[in-house]
Structure 1
Amino acid sequence: MDNRTGFRRRGHGFLADQARQALGMAGEAKLLADIPAPLVHTAFGAAVCAVAILMRPEALGLQRSAIASGCLAVFTGLALVAYDFLVYPAESRPGLEGAALPVAAVASFATVLAGVTPIAVRLAAGVVAAIVIGGVPHLAGRRVTGREGWATRFGRDAAGVAVLAPVLVAASSPVLPPLQRAGLVAAVALLVSIDGLRTERIGVIRALLASAVVGLIIGEVTLPVATATGNAGLRAAALLVLWYGLRGELGVLVTSRRNHWTSIAEYGIFVLAAAVALGLIAARNL
């Protein structure tokens, strides 16, 4: 039992564990009740999105909005880590990596507010951000406690795509200066890549280095692509495919898998397809 003052386990999972111990069943089961619950985090995510709306460029100006949104993203990550540290036992805490995708979600929503004007798109982006902030710590907790199945992995990958895609679309907006667009895309791609690579059980340092390379490449490619003419959705889709391929390639390179070259070839197909698409987009603007 967790004997820290003011904190104790509770709920059906705890009672079932106590019953198992009373029957003499050895070992302590990993309790779902000890994993960060989505409800509290989702409510916090909704509050963060509400604050982000108040910090939109129309209200504060572009520069002040960018600074305020960056501070809000950092605060969100620190608040999630602090809450999980105080409330949940060590064996079920997602740690710092669990805050990577929520921080990226805040940055993504702020980017949509700055670069996209339709209310429907902004509303959808806010809902996605709140769900990601609420759900990802729970999914990360399942990974830490050994409860991560294919559905959990798929959920985290889908959350990463949902966070990165709006940023890639908004990067084509002329509202944001080119360097700020590239830097923002690089930062969000780095955070999303960290979450994805850690899902693959890659070490923290290796995941961070690989994610930094992915972020730099995506940010660099964004500069010429964002100024191209044509459908912004197609450009964002090509960049998203490129990110997926690069993340997979570098993820394989920093591990010691036996099917090393097979995996590199598989992810290389995505990189090649994205490169061809981006090349065609660039050729149309010559």
Structure 2
Amino acid sequence: MLREQQAAFVAVLRGVSAGLLDDAIIPGSIAAEARMAIYRNNVLGNLAACLQIAYPAVEKLVGADCFAGLCRDFIQARPPVCANLYEYGAEFAIYLEASKSLKSLPYLADVARLEWAVNIALHAAETPPLDPGALAGVDVAETGFVRHPSVSLLILRDDARGIWEAVLLEDVSKKDALLAAIEISAAAVPVIVSRSSGTLEIMPVTAPVFDFALILLSGFPLADALEATTPDEAPAMLGMFLAQGLFAGIVPASSQTKTHETNKENHPCQT
């Protein structure tokens, strides 16, 4: 019975008539529909505020009214599945990309992807990066690496980062000048986003570096990553990843799991 009432309550919060809860709502001076409207408005308002905090550049690009409408539609289509609202909104870029009304802004979805990666980096749990000394005495070739919770790997349009940086400037004249100078380009740029020593890092990388990082950050051992790159370049790339704090630990060869399983420990609400 409780489960059915909870499901009905959620349905009403998403717009279904409060009549669905007639048997559970005690009559009062305020009608059930009006009372449920208060809850509904609070829930929608709080979720919209989460999206507004996570996607300030998207809001500036489409305007406050349009953004509010996008939030309402997204919340109805993708309600939260986790109580941690810092986790809410991960699929917003996919929603924007599928919206026919936004086709005139081809860069918008990638701006959103970058904003979400920044959101992850800024709110990730404080986790010490892997100490390179931990690699001493282990079979490095057969060792896997645990992705630091602040790290995201993205392939973005060439114009996405510049638009994101420019649109967030408070100096209107400087913002307008930078936006006017940006060449709209769909060329792909691999990017690694992380937080290193408390500082947000957005690092464009070459395709070989991105591929090498992707294999390692997916939990595969170094030996697998070496098959996808030039051996002479691997030490420098691994050293760069260690210096940037992209790893949070190692997985011995005897107990290797893919990082997407490890990530569920860091981001329990993601599937």
TM-score w.r.t. structure 1 length? 0.29
| Structure (1 or 2) with the greater helix fraction | 1
| Structure (1 or 2) with the greater strand fraction | 2
Higher relative contact order (CA 8 A, sep 6+): 2
TM-score w.r.t. structure 2 length? 0.30
Q: Based on CA coordinates, which of the two structures has the bigger radius of gyration?
A: 2
